[in-house]
Amino acid sequence: MLVEIAKTLGLFFATALAEIIGCYLPYLWLKQGKSAWLLVPAALSLAAFAWLLTLHPQAAGRVYAAYGGVYIGVALLWLWAVDSVKPTVTDWIGVSLCFLGMCVIMFGQRQT
């Protein structure tokens, strides 16, 4: 079970990074006047994001729902590391609740 949890979390983390990078690069182009060439790696990153979501053996809807909890956590880490904004205590409490929800969705009881 621990191997399954570690694999799922690692895959969700990589997926979140791909999505954030794929959205951040166009943001740099649109809001900060950076080169439009950033759209090329952004598109590749978003394609990787979609592909990574397909690597989970569970039903797509379940994966999408649970992924959101991990995405929120990775987005807060991005906020801290890239935007230099330290998350607050309530940010971490919120992420903890989202992560708990992800665990319930991904590893909870299934109908047989």
Report the pLDDT averaged over residues 78-91: 96
The number of beta carbons lying within 10 Å of the beta carbon of residue 56 is: 19
Mean pLDDT computed over every residue of the chain = 91
Mean pLDDT value across residues 68-95: 94
pLDDT value, residue 105: 86
Q: Does residue 40 register a pLDDT over 80?
A: yes
Q: Report the SS3 class of residue 7.
A: helix
For residues 75 and 56, which has the higher predicted lDDT (pLDDT)?
Answer: 75
Average pLDDT, integer, range 13-42:
96
Share of the chain above pLDDT 90, in %: 62
**Residues 83, 84, 89, 92, CA torsion sign:** positive
The pLDDT assigned to 57 comes to 76
111: pLDDT strictly greater than 80:
no
CA distance 78 to 61: 25
